Amino acid sequence: MNDTLWQLEPATAAKHRLYKRYLDGYWAKMLQPNGAGNSWPKVTYVDAFAGPGRYLGGEEGSPVFVLRRLLDHTARGRMGLRPNRVQLVFIEKRRDRYKHLVKELGAKFGDLSALPVRVEVVHGEAAAETARALDHLQAWGNPVLAIFDSWGNVNVPLTLLERIAANRGSEAIVTFGPNWFNRREDQNAEQLDDVFGGREYWQRADRESSTDERWRAWLSTYRDALGRAGFEFQLQFEVVPHTGQPLYLVHGTKHVAGVEVMKDAMWTVDPEAGTLFRDPRTRGAESVGQLDLFGSGGGVHPELRELIVQRLDDGAITVEQLRDWLVRETARWLGKHANAAVKTMCDEGAVHVEPTGQISKRSVIRLR
C-alpha cells in the first residue's frame, strides 16, 4: 500500500488553522525588536514529526505552510531574516515521506540554501534528531519552538523537553490522537517512564477506567510533565473539528506572552470552519466554539462561568487571583475576561463581591 501521503482529516485541518494563526503571532513577537529595541540573536523552530509536506487532496503539510507564511509575513521587513538567525528544522522518520518532503519544499521554494532563513530537512527519529539538530545549529541558549506532532505514539523523552525548556524563551507543542488515551497496552511502561519522567507520574492516569475521563487524566498528566520539565506556563485543550475525531494539544512555554499568542490564535481561528476548542476542565456538552465572552443567550459564556464557579468552589479569591488563574489554568480565557464576567455574575446574584461598588483587582469574590 502506498501511504506516503494521506487524506487531510478535519482535526488536522483545524490544528493547521490554529498553527497558522499562532505562528503568525509567534514570528512577529520573536523576530521583531521589542520596545527597548532588543531582539533575539537566534530563533530555532523544529517540526519533529514533519510528514511529507502535502496531503492527498493537495493541501499543504505543516513544513510547507510554516515556511511559506514566514517568508510572506506582513512584518517580514522588520523581522531580520538571516540564515544564521532564523532556523527551521523538519524531521521525518519514514524515508518515502522524507523524500517527498524534500521534493515538495524544492518545488515550492526552489534552492533552500538561497532562502533568507536556514532550512534543514532531516531523515530520522524525532527525539534523537531534534537534539542532534539543536547541537549542530548551535541553537542552545536561545529560543527554540519544538512541535511534536505525532499520531499518538508520543515517545519524546521528558529529558529532551527539559533541555529545550532550559533555553530562554522556548516553547513546545505536543499533540495526541484520540487513540493514544485508550490503548496503553501497546506502549511499554519504560517508554512511558521516559515520556512522563517516572512511573509515579503516570500510573494514576492509567488507573482511570472511564473512557470520558481517561483523556482528561492523561492530558493533564502530560501538562504537569511539561511543567516539571521547566515550562512555567502550560495549556491543554481538545481541538474538536466540525466532523470526525478530535485531537488533543498541550503547549508549554516559559513566558506569559507565549500563552497570550496561543490564546489569541484560538480566538481568531475562522469560526466558519466550525472548529471548537474545549477546556478539559469543563464537563459540559456545551459547544465552546465561536468565542465570545458572552454566550448566545446573553450573560457570561457558559464555559467561562463553569470555570469561575469551579475555582470559587475552592474558596474566595481576589479578582487579581482570578485573572492569574484564568491565564494559567484555562485553555482559552485571558485575564482581561475576569472583570466583565465577575461584574455580570455579581449583577445576576451568582457571586458576591466585597467591597461593594467599583470592582478592582483587590475585590474579593465568593460564590453566593
Q: Which residues bind ligand SAM (CB under 6 A)?
A: 12, 47, 49-51, 61-62, 91-94, 97, 125-126, 149-151
Nearest distance, CB of residue 191 and ligand SAM, angstroms: 12
Place of cell 472548529: 275
Nearer to ligand SAM, 93 or 132 (CB): 93
Q: How many residues does the chain have?
A: 368
Nearer to ligand SAM, 104 or 279 (CB): 104
Nearer to ligand SAM, 12 or 236 (CB): 12
Nearest distance, CB of residue 50 and ligand SAM, angstroms: 6
In whole angstroms, what is the distance from residue 253 CA to residue 231 CA? 5
Nearer to ligand SAM, 24 or 47 (CB): 47
Nearer to ligand SAM, 40 or 148 (CB): 148
Nearer to ligand SAM, 177 or 197 (CB): 177
In whole angstroms, what is the distance from residue 264 CA to residue 291 CA? 11
In whole angstroms, what is the distance from residue 32 CA to residue 80 CA? 7
In whole angstroms, what is the distance from residue 175 CA to residue 251 CA? 9
List the Cα angle 43/18/145 in 5-degree steps: 20
In whole angstroms, what is the distance from residue 328 CA to residue 319 CA? 14
> Is residue 197 within 8 Å of residue 229, measured between CB atoms?
yes
Nearest distance, CB of residue 46 and ligand SAM, angstroms: 11
Nearer to ligand SAM, 219 or 342 (CB): 219
Nearer to ligand SAM, 47 or 329 (CB): 47
> Is residue 4 within 8 Å of residue 240, measured between CB atoms?
no
Nearest distance, CB of residue 257 and ligand SAM, angstroms: 24
Nearer to ligand SAM, 11 or 345 (CB): 11
Nearer to ligand SAM, 63 or 258 (CB): 63
Nearest distance, CB of residue 122 and ligand SAM, angstroms: 9
Candidates 349, 195, 272; CA nearest to 13 is 272
- For 91, phi and psi rounded to 5 degrees? -115, 135
> Is residue 14 within 8 Å of residue 244, measured between CB atoms?
no
Nearest distance, CB of residue 148 and ligand SAM, angstroms: 9
Nearest distance, CB of residue 123 and ligand SAM, angstroms: 9
Nearest distance, CB of residue 61 and ligand SAM, angstroms: 3
> Is residue 236 within 8 Å of residue 273, measured between CB atoms?
no
Nearest distance, CB of residue 110 and ligand SAM, angstroms: 21
Candidates 164, 160, 158, 163; CA nearest to 144 is 164
> Is residue 65 within 8 Å of residue 20, measured between CB atoms?
yes
Cβ partners under 8 Å of residue 131, min gap 6: 160, 163
Nearest distance, CB of residue 60 and ligand SAM, angstroms: 8
- 85: how many CB neighbours lie within 10 A of its CB? 19
> Is residue 155 within 8 Å of residue 127, measured between CB atoms?
yes
Q: Determine which helix (DSSP H) or strand (DSSP E) holds 325, and give its type and residue range.
A: helix 319-329
> Is residue 18 within 8 Å of residue 265, measured between CB atoms?
yes
